[in-house]
Amino acid sequence: MGVALACALAGIGSAVGVGIAAQASTGVMSVDPGKFGKLLLLSALPGTQGIYGFVIAFLLLGKVTPGMDMHVSWQIFTAGIPIALAGLFSGIHQGKVCAGGAMMTAKQPDDSAKSLILAVFVEFYAILGFLVSFLMLQGIGG
């Protein structure tokens, strides 16, 4: 269950976040297609949470063995929770920040890097969730 939650919830957060950011970006590009390069990173950035969740899920799967005891099963479950929840919520909120950045880029293209910096602040919490899950993973079975 921890493997599934890590991958699924972080993936959902990324999918929703990328959708929100890309929707705003396509609106901007419908008026000015030349801004594609500046908007690409803003649209893709919320996708990193899904990658973090996938990596943790893959690593957790390596700990799953036939006949493992219930204690290890609970450790695997709980190790998936930090990235699952951090990825879900940070992906969605990063998408909103990136959508605002796309709108800012429409009016002030030279300041697009500023909106990217603000989006990285949200990314920090996904990285923290990833690190906590990773650190918990190291203690499984021990």
What pLDDT band is residue 55 in, cutting at 50, 70 and 90?
Answer: very high
Write out pLDDT tens, residues 70-125. Answer: 999 999 999 999 999 999 999 999 999 999 999 999 999 988 899 999 999 999 99
> Going by C-beta distance under 8 Å and a sequence separation of 6 or more, which residues neighbour residue 22?
43
Q: How far is CA 25 from the centre of its chain?
A: 18
CA-CA distance, 71 to 84, in Å (whole number)? 20
**Would you state the pLDDT for residue 45?**
96
Provide the token pair at 33: 């297609």
Compute the Cα dihedral for 15, 100, 87, 45 and give only its sign.
positive
CA Rg value for the chain: 18
Provide the token pair at 138: 């190291």
Answer yes or no: are the C-beta atoms of 42 and 115 closer than 8 Å. yes
Q: Is residue 51 over pLDDT 70?
A: yes
Grouping H, G, I as helix, E, B as strand and the rest as coil, residue 74 is helix
CA-CA distance, 14 to 94, in Å (whole number)? 9
- AA identity, residue 8: A
Write out pLDDT tens, residues 3-38. Answer: 999 999 999 999 999 999 999 999 999 999 999 999
CA-CA distance, 90 to 124, in Å (whole number)? 9
Q: Is residue 142 over pLDDT 60?
A: no
Q: Is residue 141 over pLDDT 90?
A: no
What homologous superfamily is domain 2-138 in, according to CATH? lithium bound rotor ring of v- atpase (1.20.120.610)
**Would you state the pLDDT for residue 73?**
92
